[in-house]
Structures are given as C-alpha cells and as structure tokens.
Structure 1
Amino acid sequence: MKDKKTPGINHHFRRESKIMLWWLLGIPLVLVALVFCIGPYLLNILNAPPRSATSMTEQQFWTLIEQAKGPGGDAQHAQRLGQTLAQRTSQEVVDFQIRFDQFREKADQGDVWAAGLLLNRGHGTDSGFEYFRIWLIGQGQAVYESALSDADSLADLADSVATNPSEGAEWESYGAAPYHAYLALTGKDLFDALPSPQRTDLLGSKWDWQDYSDLVLEQRLPRLWAKFGQDKQESDLAVQKAIDNYQSPESLQVTGLGTVSLGDLLIHKSYGPARVKTLFANDGVHITAIMVFEDRESSMLLTPTAPENTVFWSRAPS
C-alpha cells in the first residue's frame, strides 16, 4: 500500500515541469529586462572614441608645434622641434609622439591625399603622403583643421610651398624629430616606448587613390587643380615612361642590411614585416624599395635616415 505522504511520480513530473517552464520563460524575460536597463550604457561604451594613451592635451600638442614654427623648410623646422622637445621630459616626448600619430592617422583621407598630390606636382606615393601629412601638421592647428574640412583650402599655401621647390610639401626630418629628441634624452629607442599598436594607417586606409581621376580632382579641388593640374599630368606621363623603361636589379647593397634581394623579408621598426618587390638606387647611396605589407605596397627608403643615420629596417629572424 502506497504511503500517502510520499509524492508519486506524477507529482514529481509536474513539479519538474513547472521548474523547467520557469527557466524557459523566466530567463529570457530577465535577459530582456537587462538589455533595456544596461543596453544604453553598453552602447555608449562601444560607441565612445578610444581613450587616449597620453596625458598630453591636444592644445598642449599644438602649442609645441607653434613653438617650432619659423623660417626655412623641413630641416630648420625639424631642428627647432627637436630642440623644443629636448627641453621636455622623456614621457612628454612619448606623449607628443602619440598625439602626432593620432593627428597623422586622422588626416588619412582621400581628399587630403589628393591635395598633397597636387601641391607636390603629381608626387603621391605612400611614403610621400606620410611626409605630406607630417608637413600638414607642422603648419599648425588652423591649417590642419581647415584642410581636413576642406582640402582645397591648401591652395592658400601654394606660394609658400613654391619657396622650397626641392622638398615641396613633404617633410621627412620633421617627423623624425621626436625620435631624435627621445634618443638624446634617454639613449633609447622612442618606438620601444610607444603603446602598441601605433602607426597603423599604412595598412588601413579606407579610400582608394584610383578613385581620384583627373576629372575628380578638378571637381573636388578646383583651386588646387587650377594651379597644379598641368604639373600633375606632366608628372604622370614622366612616371609612366620611367616605369615602362625600368628594370629592377635582383639585389643591391644596403647600409646596415648587407645584400638585399627581391623577395627578401625585412622588418620595419614601426610598420612590421614586408617583402621587397622592386629596388631603386636613387643616387648610388640611398636605396628605395617598393615594399609589400600584407596586401598593400609602399615605396620606402631602406637606407638609414639623416641626421643621425637612424636604422628603421632589420632582417627577419632566420
């Protein structure tokens, strides 16, 4: 005879069914409630701009840029910027470089590239665009911000660019000034002190230079095109002729690297690994190569850079 105080199998089944039903219905309801409660908070976190890794404010950065302005071109501005930074702490130099990289990456826009192409009379390589953005930052906050909102505004600087025709609107030494200032202060490599990753724009532009035909340039940058359009077209013809007639050597001797051959894997200090596609002996001393970073090509200098023969390339570990 069954004990009436002992629940039967049906009772257990009904109880377990109720528990399962609460789990099946309750958990989704709880999750929906959580989404409504904390969803906006999570969206704000996800949509917020990345927090800066530097304590240097934008205004402090632009103040240092202004202090380095003066007569002359790339070399003179680089010297003044280096002297200014050398009077700061090593951490301030690191902070300055982080801000510099942020503004340089922010200027990675198609219209800005096109403006540099025209200001530099048709010279629009990847390395040339980097040096152009360095030049743009060196012009100060007002010019920089105007260029990002209206790249054609750089036509106002055409006359000042013409005073230094050998370098145009491309500054290489200026971009290396923080590196040399940090080296003088600490004896160490600035790139080793930067948060990782830095300087990633070389591999991640969201625009395509092939979208900028001559017609597009004339429409989007009418003032610059009126001044430099003919120079750009003549440069295109000269470059295409040089490409058609050029045969890359299989290998060249490069200071600090030894014999560099086509297909070699080299490591750039800030950009990472790349393979040699084409070699150019610019003047018998300086060696430029077309380097392939993943799926993008860039023309870059392999030999150490002035003024202190800084080495940016090394061999890949064997």
Structure 2
Amino acid sequence: MDTDGFWELIERSALRADTPDDRLRWLTDRLAELPAAEIMDFTLRLDELRRRADSHLLWGAAYRICGGLCSDDGFHYFQAWLVGLGRDGFERVVRDPDELAELPAVQRLAGRALRDWAEDEWPSWEELDYVADEAYERITDGSEELDVVLERHGHDVQLTPEPSDERWNPRDPAEVVARFPRLARMFPVPPVETPPAGWAFRSA
C-alpha cells in the first residue's frame, strides 16, 4: 500500500461512516480483506505521516486548541486525528499549523468550554492506531502480533512524539500570536505563565 492507497482508505472511511467508531469498524473490515503485507504497509504509512506532523510548532497549536490539555499522548492522538481529516487538511496544517483555524472541525470548538465538547468532537483519534492490529489479528487468527512482525522486519514505529524543531512557550500570548494569529483569535491565550517543567514538550 502506497501513500495514495492509504489516503484513499482514510477518505473513503469518512464518506462511508458517520461517526469515528463507524469509521474504525469500516477501516478494520477493509484492511482485513487485504494481504498481511498491505496491513503492515498501512501502519507504516500512518507512522510516516505522524513523523511529518511531529513538531513543537504543531504541538503548540494543539495545546492552544485544547486549552493546555495536550500531553505527549494527547499530541500523539492529535496527529492521528489530523490524518483522519484527510489529505488536503493534513497537508495544509503540516505546512502551516495556523491553517487549523480554517478547518470546520476546529471552528466548531471555538468559543466553547472544554466541558461542553462532545467526545467525538475532541481533536483526538487514539483508536486509529489499533485498526491495523485488529485486522492483522483477524486474518492471522491471532497467531502473531503486528508490532512483533514489524519489529522483525526492521520497522521501528514511533509510539510517542519526538519533535526536533525549536521549543517555545505556548503560554506566552506574544509567542502564540506571532505563530498562530488566527488560532489566537479563536482560542485566546490567558496572561503569560511560566510553563511547568517538561509540560508537554518532553525534556531531551
């Protein structure tokens, strides 16, 4: 499965299902119809896209949208959610994280308290990580786990964010406005605070 094939599956799942859970079931069923090598490729393509979205800059944008609730796990799941938006949205945001402000899924969250967000509105899609594992288990009757097979083939799938670009303080209003002028208007930043040690960007 090449990158085009991966995106075709992701985007078809959005057309064929109404909820994130329905999309996951649809994707799992489609993957389970493919050879094992194609299921492995799906995981590798997802990992490649995650690495492209793995930056402190984008992490700061996710942190702003989520009101500071964006740990390393949270950003990992945010990356999967971003993939779930489809190729066009993903490419736009990777080029410029402030493009998140133009996405309807983000616009629906602006001006609302976090407690009022429905579960399927959160910019997080942890379960996308598991569809390939479930499909692989289905076609192999659970005889081998996908991560074990990938490791045996020399593939080290990234399990947590590992950004290497410049770190910065996403709680500093001036910093946020400079990097994300549109997001800063939609999700205002409170007065500057000193971020807790290792807040979301893990120490080296």
Q: Which amino acid aligns with 2:6?
A: F
Please, which runs of 5 or more residues in structure 1 have no aligned partner? 1-55, 241-292, 297-318
**The structure with more radius of gyration:** 1
Look up the equivalent residue of 1:165 and give its one-letter code: A
Provide the secondary structure at the position in 2 that maps to 1:132.
helix
Structure 1 pair 76/120, CA: closer, same or farther in 2 (3 Å)? farther
Q: Report what 2:118 is aligned to.
A: 165
Secondary structure at the counterpart of residue 229 of structure 1: coil
Number of the residue aligned with 2:139: 185
Quick check: 1:63 aligned with 2:8?
Answer: yes
TM-score by length of 2: 0.78
Q: Shift of residue 151 of structure 1?
A: 0.8
Q: CA deviation at 1:103?
A: 0.6
Code of the aligned partner of 1:97: T
Alignment match, 1:114: 60
Give percent identity, aligned residues only. 27
| Cα distance change on mapping 1:176 and 1:201 into 2, 3 Å | closer
Aligned alpha-carbon RMSD (Å): 2.9
Preserved contact between residue 24 and residue 131 of structure 2 (Cα < 8 Å): yes
Between 144-153 and 186-195, report the one with greater CA deviation: 186-195
- Is the 8 Å Cα contact of residues 101 and 198 (structure 1) preserved in structure 2? no
| 1:114-172 superposed Cα distances (whole Å, 9 cap, x missing partner) | 22112223222100000000000111110010001111111122235579533510111
2: CA distance, partners of 1:93 / 1:200: 17
TM-score by length of 1: 0.52
CA gap 1:118/1:212 in 2 versus in 1, 3 angstroms = closer
Superposition deviation, residue 184 in structure 1: 1.1
1:1-318 aligned at under 5 Å gives the runs 56-70=1-15, 72-157=18-103, 158-160=106-108, 165-167=118-120, 168-186=122-140, 187=142, 188-194=144-150, 195-200=153-158, 202=160, 204-207=162-165, 209-214=167-172, 215-230=174-189, 233=190
- The answer (yes or no) to whether the contact 1:135–1:169 under 8 Å persists in 2 is yes
Tell me: higher relative CO, structure 1 or 2? Use CA pairs within 8 A at least 6 residues apart.
2
Q: Distance in 2 between matches of 1:135 and 1:181?
A: 20
Which moves more between the two structures, 178-187 or 189-198? 189-198
Provide the rounded CA distance (Å) in 1 between the counterparts of 2:72 and 2:98.
Answer: 20
Assess if the C-alpha contact under 8 Å between 2:81 and 2:123 holds in 1.
yes
**Alpha carbons 1:68, 1:81 under 8 Å: kept:** yes
Please report how far the alpha carbon of residue 77 of structure 1 lies from its aligned counterpart in structure 2 after TM superposition: 2.5
Report the AA paired with residue 126 of structure 2: E
CA distance in 2: counterparts of 1:69 and 1:203, whole angstroms = 25
Contact kept in structure 1, 2:32 and 2:139, CA below 8 Å: yes
> In structure 2, what is the Cα distance between the partners aligned to 1:223 and 1:144?
17
How many pairs align?
185
Instruction: Verify the 8 A CA contact 2:75 2:161 in the aligned structure 1.
Output: no
Where is the strand percentage greater, Structure 1 or Structure 2? 1
